């Protein structure tokens, strides 16, 4: 594998530069004095921001986008071998790096590199960790898979030895990273277009945990099934977090929720004879799942020696990232929330949080994400969506796939209906908007949900009001 010497800036080209992670890496290189070019299918806020920072952006993929002056090319998992820019790079003999390989090389430059992984919750936990480090004046470098307004985007270039990176399991990309500390939030079946099954995913997370050496630290969810598969034989220090104060090293008791579903709790630490209460925590984001996310990063923060007051202040200051239970506004007294949830567990967590939020009726407008995920997790999607009072389905967002499985949102609608929940399917966003405008009432809570472009439905309704 080609290795970039970060002390000697070169010309790097990114294929798919508009992606949330790719754009962040490109931004880091620009700030380190590298010359950067990149291509993507469409213009976006991220590509425009990179252009303002000095990157040369091309729209559409073409061999002509790869200059002979380029010294390295970075590409995403979505880019195939027949991509004309990949082919031109090979013809010119330019070294190729995956996004994860570049991120891993960056991590090697930091004494404390925190890799935050899990099937879901990564973006929120990475953001929480960032807020704690900022409160502690640790000046971290951060790569997060969402827009975090406290750092002005999805990337922050710091001046210290701290690096915080959201670490994704898809295509085993996190196995290219070099963390010194890790968080494993959860391990569930997902990305089954790449992984064979849940056992295959579990093997990958075990390999990720094994990347930690004797001086490493692992914060892991104590309720993961057969936890010993991930912890047995590791040489690093291990701490668990979870809902049982007698079992887990860190847990929460006396949990209460404010009128908007944000939790406050007493933090516990396990002792030989039970547990001690070591501090009180108040969160600025809703739901019990965020209690667990906060516990995961508290374990790391305490291991780093960060005082409780700074941990408490950092968590209280975090009010969410874009597309994670994000309040978008109101139309005719209906509150509009947008959420990125696209896995049954995420949907369940989001809708449970919604039940603690002020509402008369909960409307969930869901856009399934990829055919393989929808087919593999059909029952899970149906059961979790039944936590809403009314479900409205859009067509499946294909992302990187084509429909070869004969699956559709109508199949999901029929499954939801079989469980007795009111469900509606419309083939266009315009029809969805018209239906919601006619049927949502003052005091209702409307959640647009999914990893595609369903957010535009809520935004359109807000523009009408």
Catalytic residues: 122-123, 166
Rounded CA gap, 374 and 380, in Å?
9
Cβ atoms of 72 and 37 within 8 Å: the answer is: no
- Kindly write down the DSSP assignment for every residue of 193-229, as one continuous string: TTSSSHHHHHHHHHHHHTT--TT-EEEEETTSTTTHH
Grouping H, G, I as helix, E, B as strand and the rest as coil, residue 274 is strand
How is the beta sheet containing 422-425 ordered, strand by strand?
A: 326-331, 334-339, 445-449, 362-366, 390-393, 422-425
Cβ atoms of 209 and 218 within 8 Å: the answer is: yes
Q: Which tokens is 142 given?
A: 């951060």
Other CB atoms within 10 Å distance of the CB of residue 253: 12
Cβ atoms of 221 and 185 within 8 Å: the answer is: yes
Give the 3-state DSSP-derived string for 233-266, with helices as H, strands as E and coil as C: CCCCEEEEECCCCCCCCEEEEEEEECCCCEEEEE
């Amino acid at each position: 594998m080609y290795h970039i010497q970060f002390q000697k800036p070169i010309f790097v080209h990114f294929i798919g530069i508009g992606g949330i992670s790719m754009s962040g890496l490109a931004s880091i290189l620009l700030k380190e004095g590298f010359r950067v070019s990149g291509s993507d299918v469409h213009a976006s806020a991220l590509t425009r921001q990179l252009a303002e920072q000095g990157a040369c952006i091309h729209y559409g993929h073409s061999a002509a986008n790869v200059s002979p002056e380029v010294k390295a090319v970075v590409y995403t998992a979505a880019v195939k071998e027949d991509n004309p820019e990949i082919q031109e790079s090979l013809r010119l003999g330019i070294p190729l790096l995956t996004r994860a390989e570049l991120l891993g090389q960056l991590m090697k430059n930091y004494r404390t590199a925190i890799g935050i992984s899990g099937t879901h919750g990564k973006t929120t936990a990475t953001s929480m960790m960032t807020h704690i480090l900022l409160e502690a004046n640790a000046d971290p470098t951060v790569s997060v898979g969402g827009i975090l307004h406290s750092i002005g985007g999805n990337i922050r270039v710091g001046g210290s030895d701290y690096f915080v990176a959201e670490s994704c399991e898809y295509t085993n990309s996190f196995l290219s990273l070099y963390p010194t500390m890790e968080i494993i939030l959860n391990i569930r079946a997902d990305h089954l277009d790449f992984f064979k099954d849940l056992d295959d995913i579990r093997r990958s997370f075990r390999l990720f945990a094994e990347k930690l050496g004797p001086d490493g630290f692992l914060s892991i969810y104590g309720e993961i099934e057969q936890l010993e598969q991930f912890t047995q034989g590791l040489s690093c220090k291990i701490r668990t977090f979870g809902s049982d104060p007698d079992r887990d090293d860190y847990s929460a008791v006396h949990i209460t929720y404010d009128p908007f579903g944000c939790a406050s709790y007493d933090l516990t630490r396990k002792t030989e004879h039970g547990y001690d209460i070591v501090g009180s925590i108040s969160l600025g984001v809703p739901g019990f799942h965020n209690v667990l996310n906060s516990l995961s990063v508290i374990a790391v923060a305490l291991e780093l020696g960060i005082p409780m007051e700074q941990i408490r202040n950092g968590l209280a200051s975090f009010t969410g990232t874009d597309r994670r239970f994000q309040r978008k506004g109101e139309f005719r007294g209906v509150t509009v929330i947008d959420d990125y949830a696209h896995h049954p567990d995420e949907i369940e967590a989001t809708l449970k949080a919604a039940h603690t939020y002020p509402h008369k009726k909960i409307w969930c407008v869901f856009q399934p994400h990829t055919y393989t995920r929808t087919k593999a997790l059909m029952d899970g999607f149906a059961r979790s969506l039944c936590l809403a009072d009314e479900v409205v389905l859009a067509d499946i967002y294909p992302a990187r796939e084509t429909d070869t499985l004969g699956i559709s949102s109508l199949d999901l609608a029929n499954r939801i209906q079989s469980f007795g929940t009111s469900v509606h399917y419309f083939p266009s966003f315009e029809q969805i908007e018209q239906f919601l405008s006619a049927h949502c009432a003052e005091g209702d809570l409307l959640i647009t949900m999914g990893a595609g472009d369903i957010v535009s439905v809520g935004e359109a309704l807000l523009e009408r009001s």
